[in-house]
Amino acid sequence: MSEQPVLFSEKACGKGKKIAIATLNAEKALNSLSLEMVDMISAQSELWEVDDSIVCILLDSAGDRAFAAGGDIRKLYESMVECGENYNAYATDFFSREYRLNYRLHNFLKPIIAWGNGFVMGGGMGLFEGADFRVVTESTRIAMPEVTIGLLPDVGGTWFLNQTRGNSGLFLALTGAQINATDAIYSGLADVFIPHAEKAVMLDKLAELNWTANTEDDCRQIALALDALQNRHKEVLPAAQLEPHMSWIDDVTSGDSLETVVAAITAYEGDDKWLRRAVGTLKKGCPVSVFLAYELNQRGRELPLNECLKLELIGTVNCAKYGVFREGIRAQIIEKDNQPDFKPASLAELTDEMREQYLSWPWADKANPLSNL
């Protein structure tokens, strides 16, 4: 396969129409998004949007392990080591260009289908949630695990986690819990289940549609075709993890402050494996990340996507500036000692001044690159 990090191809349909395909092609890195990949998809999507022969977009990935397991954070780490608390042009560019792509996908003029096989996490969720039809498979593992690395649930997470059933989005943001295909559909983070082996069948079915170039009509046709495939395979849907616990999740996340919510979640002492893992992740999470996950979730409840992305950029550049993101990557990815020395080390040590600092644009002489989004 080509060494290009994103491969572009087309699937022929009738009457000269085509389905455009973008395949993330960084299999060894679990298709984690680099800035080059972001820019390639952004540029190609502009061409596809004005090409009358293109009727639909499929976002796909190489290999069987991941759609996209996050962002390419090694280069981000290097930039943070180099810049310290000084202006980090690379990190600012990375996040702002990634978020612009997220916004573009959410507002794309043609139908987008995302094939969410394997790990769909972090930056991968930004692409996946921008699609009109979010397909999950038997191996899908969805998560926003940023609390473990000193970041925050970004790439639109402030918006799309607020669109979920009950308070499941807030719980996923605070705990980084992994959910499967059944959970994703139940929560509202995915639309349809199709086994991974049926991807080629899906493409063939889509190619046979009577494409009209009317987005609403074409979306109705796509929905019917995908539903028909899903109905053939419902018996292989994985067992639910989220739904059985929704009453408890809504209860523990109903408190009126971050501290109350965290105390309620971490008080869990049951023997459910999925819940214990989620609670354990929150307990070990970066206090700044936990604060930002909660605060942005609260602020984003009534905000449109573009305003949520602006908030997220402020948070992410501050996580880079003040060292928690660098320390999280060091512990989890670079040195892999799994012993991050986050500062502050607890929510109790996170002062009001620090909280305001993480929510304020840090560069007085430089505008927020998303101010015109």
- The pLDDT of residue 72: 84
- Which residues are bridge partners to 68 per DSSP? 120
CB atoms within 10 A of CB 87: 13
Q: Does a structural domain hold residue 370?
A: no
CB 99 within 8 A of CB 315: no
**Contacts for 72-76 with beta carbons within 8 Å, 24 or more apart?**
72/26, 72/29, 72/32, 72/33, 72/34, 72/35, 72/37, 73/32, 73/149, 73/329, 73/333, 74/329, 74/333, 74/334, 75/34, 75/35, 76/320, 76/325, 76/329
Mean pLDDT on 300-324: 98
Mean pLDDT on 89-112: 97
The pTM of the full predicted model, rounded to 2 decimals, is 0.97
CB 262 within 8 A of CB 282: yes
Q: Does a structural domain hold residue 109?
A: yes
**Sign of the torsion formed by the C-alpha atoms of 313, 317, 319 and 320:** positive
- The pLDDT of residue 239: 96
Residue 342 has pLDDT above 60, yes or no: yes
Residue 310 has pLDDT above 80, yes or no: yes
Q: Is residue 300 helix, strand or coil?
A: helix
E strands, the chain, in order: 6-12, 18-24, 54-61, 66-68, 112-116, 119-121, 133-136, 141-143, 192-193
Q: Does a structural domain hold residue 367?
A: no
339: containing domain: 6-358
Q: What is the DSSP code string of 57-68?
A: EEEEESSSSEEE
- The pLDDT of residue 152: 98
203: Cβ contacts below 8 Å, ≥ 6 apart: 11, 19, 58
Mean pLDDT on 320-337: 96
Strands 18-24 and 54-61, bridge-based pairing: parallel
| H/E element, 290 | helix 287-299
Establish how many alpha carbons lie within 13 A of residue 222's alpha carbon, considering only the half-sphere containing its beta carbon. 27
Mean pLDDT on 113-117: 98
- The pLDDT of residue 366: 94
Residue 121 has pLDDT above 80, yes or no: yes
Q: How many residues does the chain have?
A: 373
Q: What is the DSSP letter of 144?
A: -
Mean pLDDT on 182-203: 98
CA distance 107 to 130: 8
Q: Does a structural domain hold residue 148?
A: yes
Q: Does a structural domain hold residue 1?
A: no
What's the domain count of the chain? 1
321: Cβ contacts below 8 Å, ≥ 6 apart: 85, 88, 362
CATH code of 206's domain: 3.90.226.10
CB 363 within 8 A of CB 351: no
CB 152 within 8 A of CB 112: no
Residue 14 has pLDDT above 60, yes or no: yes
Residue 1 has pLDDT above 60, yes or no: no
301: Cβ contacts below 8 Å, ≥ 6 apart: 162
- The pLDDT of residue 3: 86
- The pLDDT of residue 213: 83
Residue 122 has pLDDT above 90, yes or no: yes
> Interhelix angle for 273-284 vs 168-175, to 10°?
60
Mean pLDDT on 150-166: 98
CB 285 within 8 A of CB 342: no
Residue 307 has pLDDT above 80, yes or no: yes
pLDDT above 90 as % of the chain:
98
Q: Does a structural domain hold residue 373?
A: no
Burial (CB count <10 Å: 0-12, 13-18, 19+), residue 73: buried
Mean pLDDT of the chain: 97
Q: Does a structural domain hold residue 372?
A: no
What is the band of 208 on the pLDDT scale with cuts at 50, 70, 90? very high
Per-residue pLDDT tens for 23-73?
Answer: 999 999 999 999 999 999 999 999 999 999 999 999 999 999 999 999 888
Q: What is the DSSP code string of 172-226?
A: HHHH---B-HHHHHHHTS--EE--GGGHHHHHHHHHTS---S-HHHHHHHHHHHH
- The pLDDT of residue 16: 94
Q: Does a structural domain hold residue 369?
A: no
